[in-house]
A and B are shown apart, each in its own frame.
Chain A
Amino acid sequence: MDLNVKLEIYEGPLDLLLHLIKKNEVDIYDIPIALITSQYLAYLELMESLNIELAGEFLLMAATLTQIKSKMLLPVLEEDQEEEEEDPRMAIVRPLLEHMKIRDAAEALERRAILDRDVFTRDVSLADLGLAPAEEALVEASLFELIDAFQRLVSKFEAVSGLDIYLETRTLQERINEIIIFLREKRQASFEELTAKDRTKAEFILSFLAVLELARTGCLRLYQHQTAKVIMLFFADQPHFVKTQPNEPDREEDRDYEEDQVE
C-alpha cells in the first residue's frame, strides 16, 4: 500500500542546501560542490524511497548542482582563463545569500513587538457595542472577506457535537426568494442577521450560497465595515447606499442600522 506523506522540513531546495552547508560546516563562498551535491541527491533519494512527494524545484536544483559540479571538473582552457570566467558556484551562492538575508529579515520581523501578540490597543468592536459604523468606512467586500465571515459564522455550528441528521427542507431558490423578500423590506442587513435563524450548518451554508448567487447576479451589493468587519448586504435597486438615499436623511439610516445590530 502506498503511503503518501508530505514532509515540510525543508520547504524548498534552498532550505535544504543551507542545512547541508551548515551541517558540514563549510564556507558558503567555497562550497565543496561534489560533497554537497552527493548529499543533496542522497536526500532526494531518501525522500523518494519514503514516497514523499517532492516539489519540482528540488529536481531543478539537483540539475543545477550537477551542472555546476561537471563544470568544475572540466579543465579550464588557458584562453578562457584570461576572460576570468566567474566561479560556476556563484549560480547557487547568490540565491543562497539572498535567502539567508530574507530568513534573517523574517526572524527580525518575528521578534518585533507584534500587535495582538505582544502589544495591544484598546479595541472595542463597534458591532459589539451595537453602534453603527460610519458609512464612509464601508468598503466593497471581496470574496476573501466573505469567506472570512463564512468561516467565522460556520464555526459556531461546529461547536454542537452529536449526530447531524437534517432534512432538506428548502431549496436554494426558495432561500434566495426569502432573502429577496427580507431585504426588499429592510433594504440592508448584516450577514450575521441574515443567517441568525439558521439552526444547522446545512441551513447556514444554504444561506451563504444564496447570498453568493444574489451577489453574482447583482441583486445585492456587499460591503464591509473596515474595522468592525461586519459584512453588510444592501438591496441593489438602491443604486448607492445611504448617501444617495433621496428622502431619508443619513441619520435615519444610521438608526436603522443601530437597531439591526442590537437585535
Chain B
Amino acid sequence: MSLSLKTIVEGLLFVAEEPLSLEKISEITEGASLDRLQKVMDELAAEYEETGRAYVLCNVAGGYQFRTRPELSPYILRMKKKSPARLSRATLETLAVIAYRQPILRAEIEKIRGVDVGGVLKTLLEKGLIRVAGRKDLPGKPIIYGTTKKFLETFDLPSLDALPSLEEMESLGQEKEGKLF
C-alpha cells in the first residue's frame, strides 16, 4: 500500500497525546509544506465530520487533535465513573479576567473582580490553567499572570486570538435569552 500524506497525518494524529502542530508534522514527514498539510488537515476534518465518526478533528492550542463529539460525554463520563471537575463561578470569572487582560497583576484582577482573588489564583495555578508570566518592573516586583497552553486545550481554543472579543460578548449577552450560541 502506498502511503498518502493524508494517511500518514491521520496516523500521527491517532497516536499523538497532545495537539500536533503543522510545523511538527512537517518535521516528522521531512518537509511536507505547511500549505499542503493544512489542506490535508482540512480534508481530514471534513471527512470525520461528514462520516459521523465518534470523534472529530479539532484545532486546539496551536495544533490538531482528535476529540470525541460533545454528545457522547454522558456515556464517556459513565464509563470513566467520575463527574467532571467543575470550575466555580468565581474561578471562571477570574480565569476570564486573566484570559482577556493578560499579562495582568493580581491587584488589577482584584480591581476588576472587586474581591480578593488569592485563593482562586492558587486553584487556577494548581489546575495549570494559568501561569506566572513574569514580574512587573514595579516596586516589590509583583507577579504577572497569564494563561497556559492547557487553558487553550481545556477550552477548545486554537489560540488566544480565538477568544471572542469582549465587545462581541456584550451583544451576545443581550441576545442570550434566546439561544446559547
Contact = CB atoms under 8 A, between A and B. Distances in A.
B123 to A, nearest CB: 10
- The prevalent SS among residues of A at the interface is helix
A95 B112 contact: yes
B172 A108 contact: yes
B73 A118 contact: yes
A38 interface: no
Chain A: interface size category: 35 or more
Given A104-B173, A119-B156, A11 B89 contact: yes
A61 B111 CA distance: 12
A84 to B, nearest CB: 26
A99 interface: yes
A106 B92 contact: yes
A14 B111 CA distance: 11
Nearest to B18: A227
B115 A57 contact: yes
A144 B126 CA distance: 6
B49 to A, nearest CB: 14
Nearest to B73: A118
Contacts of A57: 114-116
Nearest to B163: A105
Interface stretch (B1-9, B32-40, B61-69): B61-69
A113 B157 CA distance: 9
A14 B173 contact: no
A128 to B, nearest CB: 13
Interface string A182-220: 000000000000000000000000000000000000000
In the A-B complex, list the 4 residue pairs whose CB atoms are closest, starting with the nearest. Answer: A117-B84, A12-B115, A12-B114, A14-B114
Given A108-B169, A118-B73, 7 more contacts: A12-B115, A14-B114, A104-B170, A105-B93, A106-B93, A122-B66, A144-B125
